[in-house]
């Protein structure tokens, strides 16, 4: 991890096409401006984590699906009406 100190209106360059500029400094936080190509995703970490958790909750794990299949199969075997 690289830790840098910047003042208001100073920038950090990442590669040739990403610029991060400090626009405001206050006790409540720092405001930054990010210039990056459109194909580069820029998102706050907490939103990224929330989206990841939502996707994970929508897709059950394979073991859960297998358990459900086994339970359904057992139920059908125990309640065979033929």
Q: Looking at the DSSP assignment, which residues form a beta bridge with residue 31?
A: 24
Q: Which residues contact 17 (CB under 8 A, 6 or more apart)?
A: 36, 37, 40
For the chain, what percent of residues have pLDDT higher than 70? 91
Q: Among the listed ranges 11-15, 26-30, 42-46, 69-73, which one has the minimum average pLDDT value? A: 69-73
Ramachandran region, residue 60 (left: φ > 0; alpha: ψ -120 to 50; beta: rest): beta
Q: What is the mean pLDDT of residues 15-40?
A: 95
| Angstrom distances, CA of residue 28 to CA of 3, 24, 25 | 20, 11, 8
Give the highest mean pLDDT range of 26-30, 52-56, 64-68. Answer: 26-30
pTM over 0.75: no
């Amino acid at each position: 991890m690289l830790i840098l100190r910047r003042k208001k209106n100073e920038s950090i360059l990442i590669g040739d096409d990403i610029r991060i500029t400090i626009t405001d400094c206050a006790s409540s936080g720092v405001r930054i401006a990010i210039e990056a190509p459109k194909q580069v995703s820029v998102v706050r970490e907490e939103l990224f984590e929330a989206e990841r958790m939502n996707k994970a909750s929508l897709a059950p794990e394979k073991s859960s699906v297998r358990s459900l299949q086994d339970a359904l199969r057992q139920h059908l075997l125990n309640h065979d009406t033929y």
